[in-house]
Chain A
Amino acid sequence: MNSPADFQHGAQAPVREIDPPEADKRRSAGVTLLDVREQVEWDAGHIPGAAFIPQGELPGRIEAEFPDKDQQIVLYCRSGARSGRATQLLQGLGYTDVVNMTGGILAWAEHDLPIDSPASLTPAQQSRYSRHLLIPEVGTAGQVKLLESKVLIVGAGGLGSPSALYLAAAGVGTLGIVDFDVVEASNLQRQVIHSTERLGAKKVDSARQSIEALNPDVKVITYDEMLLADNVERIIKGYDVILDGTDTFETRYLLNDAAIAAGIPVAHASVFRFEGQLTTFVPYEGPCYRCLYPTPPPPELAPGCSVAGVLGVVPGIMGLLQANEVLKVLIGMGEPLVGRLLLFDALDASFSELRLSRDPKCPVCSDDARAARERGETINLPVFAEGAFVLGGPGVR
């Protein structure tokens, strides 16, 4: 396991130690403090500005998160024991300036040094979200994160309805809803956020009514407009994650391009009859929609739900899987479907997974496109084949 270099740095080399007041001085001077305790301990209170990697995850994460091995890092845990071992481990990995803080956060607290207490939930929130709080991966910190998060749902239709309801129930603090349509009778077979008595109402107003009835913690921002090239940047600005519940290729490409430029992840799903496709586009980490489908099909070869039909539960299932992706990205848990396309077939009740790759020539998310964007250049997107792709079609529904 140990290469000669490891021995040279010496897994058993003596660990340098400093006490909490000295650690605080270095912290003020800009040195990184690294908390190596477990999530629940971190959630209960930690040193302000500290980085956090649980001891068991250090071997897998430290080099990605701290690539500079000569950077000074002060490690701490509860009492100084775990961080002592972690300091040795980092020395063994070639880190040259790692220091253990003696006595841990207990000694830090005895010196009356500052501790970030966890953001707290009201008693009503503790009760409402108790089933989340019981899950270690969510906990108070995760729930607070959700309450502070902003998610944009584009399309209050088959996919947007179930996802909006569940994201609202989960306590996502701000939900933006984009839709220019009104509730029609044919929507109600699957668009469960609307209701019979709201036939003819604006979908954004109907969605707001359901969300506010379900969870008053959620702030709803409505956009009663079609997503277009000249408003997309304004609408998506400031959101943490976007859920693509649109139903045309035009809006899907438009949203993809704008989200990549703005650096916002998109939970993507589409449905047709008994089938659904799902993936998560995280800008520059995985492929984007144009990497997956470089061009849209001509309309006659890609009928939408209004022509071909869809089993009502299919967008329900796919919409909730999208909401699941959104929650994972917001909380930072699990493995989002980045670079993976999940296919659902309702007839077989089967899921299949396909591998997706970033297209090195993608006009939107390739390294070249990114560099051009960062230089402030306008990216000229390819004209789609045979004029099949014209902006300003039926839009978001």
Chain B
Amino acid sequence: MSTVRLPSVLRSQADGQRAVEVEGATIGAAVQALVGRHPGLAEQLLTPEGEMHRFVNVYLNGQDVRYLAGLETPVGEQDEIRLLPAIAGG
């Protein structure tokens, strides 16, 4: 099980939870598992084609997965996935 940490802007679609434990051997599988459990997140995270939106960054243990293997990046037990959409408030 890896942990997906959710920022405020996504929590309302995940019963207010700040972190969710998910199964999944890759980033893509973990995100699918998350969306399977909280379908309201689908629109915020995924394009209709099932790709991650460009405005949501995904970090595995602090590293941007765009510079790892994207959705194919392997995820291990105890790993921390962080979903980070852009926010503009100032």
Contacts and interface: CB of A to CB of B under 8 A. Distances in A.
B54 A247 contact: no
A73 B43 CA distance: 61
B37 interface: no
Contacts of A269: 90
A315 B85 contact: no
A96 interface: no
Contact of B90 (A157, A295, A303, A355): A157
A113 B86 CA distance: 57
A302 B67 CA distance: 25
A252 interface: yes
A158 B57 contact: no
A297 B55 contact: yes
Interface string B41-67: 001100000000111110100111001
Contact of A271 (B63, B64, B84, B87): B87
Interface string A274-313: 1101000000000000001111110001111100101000
B86 A302 contact: yes
Interface string A242-273: 00111111001000000000000000011111
B84 A296 contact: no
Given A293-B57, A354-B64, A270 B85 contact: no
A11 interface: no
B62 A304 contact: no
Contacts of B62: 352-355
A104 interface: no
A160 interface: yes
Looking at chain B's contact residues, the main secondary structure is: mixed
Contacts of B57: 292-293
A355 B62 CA distance: 6
Question: Which residue, B9, B53, B55, has most C-beta atoms of chain A within 10 A?
Answer: B55
A389 to B, nearest CB: 10
Given A297-B55, A301-B44, A272 B90 contact: no
Contacts of A341: 84
Interface string A336-376: 00000101000100001111110000000000000000000
Contact of B54 (A305, A347, A357, A385): A385
A271 B90 contact: yes
Given A155-B90, A295-B54, A357-B64, A274 B8 contact: yes
B86 A354 contact: no
Nearest to A273: B8
A318 to B, nearest CB: 9
A302 B64 contact: no
B12 to A, nearest CB: 10
Nearest to B67: A357
Interface in B60-90: 62-64, 67, 82, 84-90
26 contacts: A244-B90, A245-B90, A272-B7, A273-B8, A273-B9, A277-B84, A292-B57, A296-B55, A297-B56, A297-B85, A297-B86, A301-B44, A302-B55, A302-B86, A302-B87, A302-B88, A304-B88, A305-B89, A305-B90, A315-B90, A347-B18, A352-B62, A354-B59, A354-B82, A354-B84, A355-B62
Given A295-B54, A352-B82, A354-B82, 8 more contacts: A272-B7, A272-B9, A275-B7, A293-B86, A294-B54, A343-B84, A352-B62, A355-B63
Interface of A: 155, 157-160, 244-249, 252, 269-275, 277, 292-297, 301-305, 308, 310, 315, 341, 343, 347, 352-357, 385, 397
Instruction: Report the 10 A-B pairs with minimum CB-CB distance, sorted nearest first.
Output: A247-B90, A297-B55, A272-B87, A305-B89, A293-B86, A295-B54, A273-B8, A159-B90, A271-B89, A270-B87
